Amino acid sequence: MEPVLIVLVVLVVVAFIALIKTIQVIPQASAAIVERFGRYTRTLNAGLNIVVPFIDRVRNRIDLREQVVPFPPQPVITQDNLVVNIDTVIYYQVTDPRAATYEVASYIQAIEQLTVTTLRNIIGSMDLESTLTSREVINAGLRGVLDEATGKWGIRVNRVELKAIEPPTSIQDSMEKQMRADRDKRAAILTAEGQRQAQILKAEGEKQADVLRAEGEAQAAVLRADGEAAAIRTVFEAIHDGDADQKLLAYQYLQTLPELAKGDSNKLWIIPSEVGDALKGLGGAFGGLTGGMNGGAVAAPTVPQAAPAATQVPLDPASGPRPVDTEKGAARPRVDPAREYPKIDPE
């Protein structure tokens, strides 16, 4: 009984192993290559699949999702003989599991080597400045070459990105100095532009202020002139309405004379010719007043006739104004009022 039991146990184990090998469960977004006696038979898709145990063999399972593979920095020589290190990232996806398995031994390694070769061809025809500023051009060139070459391998390259472009240390220092100089230059230009705009705005403001000030002064002058004209008209109408006589005019002239002498810098008086007539009327008024006080009529004192033209009278602080002879242009001697006007005896 023991040999039979052993055989049964062996058969059960073999059947269990055969059952396991017969049923193949493939995950989603994956595929499996099946070989029969070493020859490709079919591709297993996602789900439950049945294979012949001990005859069919699943060679490998392939992930059909998009893969991201970073490659280490690769030294590349530019057109101006500068060595730069470039890091690249490849985004690819397997579209044909059979071709990816049998057309190339290792598609990852093949893509890496093809990327390095293509980078050297593209960057070898560009200088350093173009390399640093033309990443989109390099990416597009890499993607075109890789997509064309990997199509027969059952691989589709979706994107190629340059992670970093590292020039030599000496070139980096020179670039930093150049960028610093450019920034200083732009800052100086912006500062100058700001100062220029500020000066322009200041000048515009001063111009507008001057215009407004001039307009205000003009309006003020017009208003002052209107006010003075109105005042003159009012005074003129008041004088004519009041029928002012010669005595009142002479009195107004005498009140105006002290105003002419104000100020230390005044050396001459400009007296109109009408002042003489006013003084004559004033003298008549004084004579009439004196005669009335003495009870009899007394002749009015003689007042010198005023010159027809304007008379210049130098100021004498000690003795008062001195009349000027307009014909000879010299100052006449000051007349003593006691000698000019006769003394009136009350008796």
CA pair distance 125, 132, nearest whole angstrom:
13
How many helices and strands, by DSSP H and E, does the chain display? 9, 10
How many percent of the chain have pLDDT more than 90?
18
Does 58 share its domain with 80?
no
Domain boundary (146, 167, 188) is at 167
pLDDT class of 338 with cuts at 50, 70, 90? very low
- Does the residue 196 lie in any domain? no
Is the distance from CB of 46 to CB of 28 less than 8 angstroms?
Answer: yes
The pLDDT tens digits of the residues spanning 197-216 come to 999 999 999 999 999 999 99
- Does the residue 199 lie in any domain? no
CA pair distance 295, 74, nearest whole angstrom:
140
The pLDDT tens digits of the residues spanning 144-179 come to 888 888 888 999 988 888 888 888 787 778 878 888
pLDDT value at residue 313: 43
How many domains are contained in the chain?
3
- Does the residue 178 lie in any domain? no
Residue 282 Cα distances to 148, 238, 276, angstroms: 127, 21, 10
- Does the residue 177 lie in any domain? no
Does 81 share its domain with 162?
yes
- Does the residue 218 lie in any domain? no
Domain boundary (132, 167, 202) is at 167
Find the domain containing 151 and state its range.
67-167
Residue 293 Cα distances to 178, 284, 301, 302, 331, angstroms: 111, 14, 16, 19, 36
Domain boundary (103, 132, 167) is at 167
CA pair distance 255, 329, nearest whole angstrom:
27
Higher pLDDT, 25 or 338: 25
User: Domain with 144 in it: what CATH number?
Assistant: 3.30.479.30
Does 45 share its domain with 99?
no
Does 86 share its domain with 137?
yes
Does 149 share its domain with 107?
yes
- Does the residue 212 lie in any domain? no
pLDDT class of 68 with cuts at 50, 70, 90? very high
Beta bridge partners of 331: 324
CA pair distance 59, 39, nearest whole angstrom:
10
SS3 335: coil
